[in-house]
């Protein structure tokens, strides 16, 4: 049984932006690589806490699945022509969405 990997959140828009910014700061000698690592570990802790404790909204979506992959209890989907229905009634139409989901049954 695999343990939950909080680094999965780094694949989202916010996580990618943080990694890119920190990488650039390391290359420009504005921060050390060890500080970059500490900051990413703190991001992992913080985003995991926020998602578990504060995000309660649900959504439904319909889409065409372009690709999918399942490895180590992690599902990855590339979707197109996506319609997202939020629990408060709003609807969003989005051309492309990447979904990364963890199988909660296998998480410790």
The CA-CA-CA angle for residues 69, 83, 89, to 5°, reads 125
Note the pLDDT of residue 106.
Answer: 56
What does the alpha-carbon distance between residue 12 and residue 61 come to, in Å, rounded to a whole number?
18
pTM of the model: 0.64
Note the pLDDT of residue 4.
Answer: 56
In our burial notation (b when 16+ CB lie closer than 10 A, e otherwise), range 2-26 reads eeeebebbbeeeebeebbeebeeeb
Task: Answer yes or no: is pLDDT of 107 > 60.
Answer: no
Mean pLDDT of the chain: 87
Q: What is the pLDDT of residues 28-53, one digit of tens each?
A: 999 999 999 999 999 999 988 888 88
Q: How confident is the model at residue 3 (pLDDT cuts 50, 70, 90)?
A: low
Q: What is the pLDDT of residues 82-93, one digit of tens each?
A: 999 988 889 999
Tokens of residue 23, six digits:
């990488």
Task: Answer yes or no: is pLDDT of 67 > 70.
Answer: yes
């Amino acid at each position: 049984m695999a343990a939950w990997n909080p680094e999965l959140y780094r694949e989202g828009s916010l996580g990618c932006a943080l990694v890119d910014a920190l990488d650039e700061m390391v290359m420009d000698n504005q921060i050390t690589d060890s500080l970059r690592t500490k900051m990413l570990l703190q991001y992992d802790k913080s985003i995991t806490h926020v998602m578990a404790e504060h995000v309660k909204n649900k959504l439904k979506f319909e889409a065409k699945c372009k690709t999918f992959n399942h490895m180590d209890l992690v599902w990855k989907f590339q979707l197109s022509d996506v319609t997202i229905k939020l629990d408060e009634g709003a609807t969003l139409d989005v051309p492309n969405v990447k979904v990364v989901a963890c199988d909660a049954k296998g998480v410790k």
